[in-house]
Amino acid sequence: MSISTNTNTKKVAAPPVNVGCPGPSYQEIVLSDRVRGPDGGVPAVLAPVRNVSLETNDISFDRYTTDDFFQREMQHVWPKVWQFACREEDVASVGDYFVYDIGSYSVIVLRTTTGLRAYHNSCLHRGTKLKPSNTSGWSNDSIACPFHGWTWNLDGSLQEVPCSWEFEHLDYAANSLPEVQVSAWNSLVFINMDPDAEPLLDYLEVMPEHFSNWWGYEEWYTRVHVQKILSCNWKTAQEAFMEAYHTPVVHPEMTKVVGDWNMQHDIFGPHTSRDLCPMAVSSPSKDHGMSEQDLLEGRLARSVHDTSDSPVEAGESARSVIGRRMREDFLRDFNKDLSHLSDAELMDSLKYNVFPNLFVYGGPGLPQIHQVRPLGDDPHRCLFDIYVLAPVPKDQPRPEPPTMVQITEADSYQDVPGMSEASGTVLDQDTQILRWQHEGMRASHKGAETLSGYQESRIRHLHNTLDKYLNAG
């Protein structure tokens, strides 16, 4: 695969859907890059502009604040959808296990001699959890109940019942652990409690094809895993990361070096959507009068690449310098040739959303995974997990998965070991506003939210898909 640096090749950007937005569209920004797609245009994976006209009615806050709606989600949505449980590195060896909880549901993910298996985390004797919530580790060659010692093989078959003479009526074959569907893609392990659910790769729609263009996460290890407890509904937190309409207000410092209102929002199917956010450009919300050198230094100050020896030469832009530096750095440090990737694929935020609660970033510029899920049976609290990834070091063994760091609202991401100050600041800003929003929903006289037509279209799409599951019963 080749890339184009032919600045004489003229290509026309796809028409922007957000036609009233000031400043260039995402497609226009990519088309102005020095390194583009093989034909001199926008790379094929970034070229689709897929958004649809959705209804404009208000969305009731009852969907965020009432126990009734929350319980409907627990009954009709969470047991029916594919959801990210852990990474393959968390269950790398035979006997490794990981416990994934969602509401009152609990699932054990295991590595067996025949691959991944998953089971409902409940003893078939008297219901005790076989493994404690929020744990992972090694289970040897069996799973034993911590209460009375009933034991199962890793394949789920019942191995031993203490005082077996007391259970002559027990059918061993009928008491294998109830299975949960489990499947892996791009180093991510997903579970689905519905035995009739469609295969994971079908559920992910365009994502397997799109991500095949980039550096697979199998070659990346988790450098930081932080989980924050938030005082809001899971959707309140989820939706904060589905739009950049809030950026000029919540993150004013970012408007100098990151696009926002001109972010591209694509909807591919009921389960997947994405936003494409340009880096090393100014926000269209304010004219900062930034030079290309200003953009370069401002953006690099917020990234893993330092600013040393990075002047913007004639014919270059801040984006082209960052792209060139990233290719050089990854080749030198990780022996990874990324010459086939455009500038946009290297540096921009390419954030894909998997219904109902997962974000997976494409490309090496922002290698992260985000997940939001309810905390127990409380519609007013949720867990926000962030996985920060890094390439496996060249000629070195894969590092062990880190211990998850759990923080509260009162804690700062900046204090989490391994989290950069810039990322920590932005995440603090994002999460500190969520309690106010959720409390405002509960206090609201209007009782509903009014969404924008384009920038918040994926929030409406989330609710539309939610309704499909709720109405399916």
DSSP structure class, residue 36: B
Please state, in angstroms and rounded to a whole number, the distance separating the CA atoms of residues 433 and 19. Answer: 29
Closest CA to 339 of 38, 41, 9: 38
Report how far residue 272's alpha carbon sits from residue 201's, in angstroms, rounded to the nearest whole number.
12
Say if CB 255 and CB 282 are below 8 A apart: yes
Cα–Cα separations (whole angstroms), residue 83 to 204, 356, 373: 11, 8, 10
Give me the sign of the Cα torsion angle 171, 95, 190, 61. Answer: positive
pLDDT confidence of residue 309: 63
Residue 272 near residue 201, CB atoms below 8 Å: no
Cβ atoms of 79 and 181 within 8 Å: the answer is no
pTM of the model: 0.94
Asked whether 31 and 49 are in contact (CB, 8 A), the reply is no
**Residue 413 has which token pair?**
């991401």
Question: Which pairing describes strands 220-230 and 405-407: parallel, antiparallel, or unpaired?
Answer: parallel
Distance, CA of 131 to chain centre: 26
145-152, long-range: CB < 8 A, 24+ apart: 147/123, 148/123, 150/123, 150/124, 150/125, 152/176, 152/177
SS3 349: strand
Query: Between the CA atoms of 122, 128, 129 and 131, what dihedral angle is there, to the nearest 10 degrees?
Result: -120
Neighbour count for residue 164 (Cβ, 10 Å) = 10
Going along 129-261, which residue ranges are E strands?
136-138, 142-144, 151-153, 158-160, 181-185, 188-192, 220-230
pLDDT at residue 7, as a whole number: 43
Distance (Å) of CA 312 to CA 40, 317, 423:
22, 6, 25
Full pLDDT tens readout for the chain, 473 residues:
445 554 445 566 666 678 888 889 999 999 999 999 999 999 999 999 998 878 899 999 999 999 999 999 999 999 999 999 999 999 999 999 999 999 999 999 999 999 999 999 999 999 999 999 999 999 999 999 999 999 999 999 999 999 999 999 999 999 999 999 999 999 999 999 999 999 999 999 999 999 999 999 999 999 999 999 999 999 999 999 999 999 999 998 888 888 999 999 999 999 999 999 999 999 998 887 888 888 888 766 555 455 456 788 888 899 999 999 999 999 999 999 999 999 999 999 999 999 999 999 999 999 999 999 999 999 999 999 999 999 999 889 999 999 999 999 999 999 999 999 889 999 999 999 999 999 999 999 999 999 999 999 999 999 999 999 999 97
Is the Cβ–Cβ distance between 277 and 263 less than 8 Å? Answer: yes
Distances from the Cα of 333 to the Cα of 77, 323, 363, 387, angstroms: 44, 15, 17, 22
Give the CA distances from residue 242 to residues 8, 364, 376, in Å, rounded to whole numbers and listed in that order.
Answer: 36, 20, 24
**Would you put residue 146 in left (φ > 0), alpha (ψ -120 to 50) or beta?**
alpha
Q: Residue written as tokens 């929903």?
A: 441
Give just the sign of the alpha carbon dihedral 55, 231, 101, 88.
Answer: positive
Conformation bin of residue 211: beta by default, left when phi > 0, alpha when psi is -120 to 50: alpha
Angle between helices 318-334 and 292-300 (to 10 degrees): 40
- Which residue type sits at 96? D
Task: State the Cα–Cα distance between residues 396 and 412, nearest whole angstrom.
Answer: 32
